[in-house]
Amino acid sequence: MRILILGFGTVGQGLAELLRDSGPWLDSRYGLRPVIVGAVDSKTGVIDPAGLDPAALLEAKQGIGMASLRGAKAASTSTADLIGRSQADVIVQAVPSNLSSPAGAIDQLRAAFASGRHAVTVTKAPLGVAMADLVAAASRGGVRFRYSGTVGASTPFLDAAATLSKADRLVSVEGIFNGTTNFILSAMHEFGTSYQAALDQATKLGYTETDPSNDVDGIDTAVKLVILANHAAGEATRTFGDVKVQGIRGVTPQQVAAAKSAGKVIRLIGRIDAHGLRVSPEQVDAGGPLDLPGATNAAVFTTATCGPVILRGSGAGGRHTASAILRDLVDIWLTTRR
């Protein structure tokens, strides 16, 4: 399987590390021999249809830069051109994107599908606004489109939702899908600090983006909820516009203290139920399944006949997110090999 990695940051490099370390195991278990035929960051693209050494790629990226490698070119070429030159079977997309400018990331996926290539993405914004179009484009191209790592990184919330709703009705999902806001609310609860002081602490520890609004205004959670709801339903009818969203900027130390004295904690909850999709700060039981420390993610699934089913785990990290990509690659391999 020839893989072109678009975006060689935390997650892209995490994937290269996993491929470097798990090659023989993937071969013996699945007969899968993944080869990186291209890696592209914002400045440079390195392409070699014969295969690139993951260790050399990582060393160059973390050292003098990928431009030092044979086959390196300025990364201004189109995705279609990169796909053509690399002869990739599948593109892995791990680039930044946001809801106000998702077009570049959407175009990368469209280019892959139009040229008959499978795609795995961990970039959420395209799915938040154009999931139905992308799923249809993949279907028209006769290729697979996987996105396990977009929700919960390595914790398989999407698989759980799809499995539980296969022969049953998913009545509700409530969960914590954003580690940054969970860290901030945990700190407010534990130390009685203000929202701003807890945000500053999260920033100091490297939990936040330069602009934290995507996290603290609930946008990241809302996009994940859209992906989860669509994936569980097996049809991509929802978009970001269908989610009622309220972030955590307005949560006060007084509200946190009142919750505490009632045996509750305040958490940013993403909720799917009969009323639709909603993201808002809610009181949940202290010591309950959604009272999580720090940056952990969790979801409680309830179906017409089963529930609650609880899943919790890490929701971020380069290697964790890359492990979801690897699952998707294995899945594509197993469902398409002849």
Ligand X SMILES: NC(=O)c1ccc[n+]([C@@H]2O[C@H](COP(=O)([O-])OP(=O)(O)OC[C@H]3O[C@@H](n4cnc5c(N)ncnc54)[C@H](OP(=O)(O)O)[C@@H]3O)[C@@H](O)[C@H]2O)c1
What positions carry a catalytic annotation?
Answer: 224
CB 160 within 8 A of CB 311: yes
CB of 98 to ligand X, least distance (A): 9
CB of 262 to ligand X, least distance (A): 34
Pinpoint the alpha helices (H) of the chain: 10-30, 54-62, 79-86, 103-114, 125-141, 157-164, 179-191, 195-204, 213-216, 219-233, 253-261, 318-336
Which of 207, 173, 172 lies closest to 199 in space, CA to CA?
Answer: 207
Q: Is 281 helix (H, G, I), strand (E, B) or coil?
A: strand
CB of 12 to ligand X, least distance (A): 6
* CB-nearer residue toward ligand X: 105 or 185: 105
Q: CA–CA distance from 304 to each of 173, 225, 266, 269, 271 (Å)?
A: 12, 20, 27, 21, 16
Measure the CA–CA gap between 168 and 179, rounded to whole angstroms.
30
* CB-nearer residue toward ligand X: 58 or 251: 58
Give the side-chain half-sphere CA count within 13 A for 113: 22
* CB-nearer residue toward ligand X: 124 or 278: 124
Structure tokens that stand for 222 in this block: 């809302």
Residue nearest to ligand X (CB): 9
CB of 10 to ligand X, least distance (A): 4
Residues that bind ligand X (CB under 6 A): 6-12, 40-43, 94-97, 104, 122-124, 149, 153, 316-318, 321
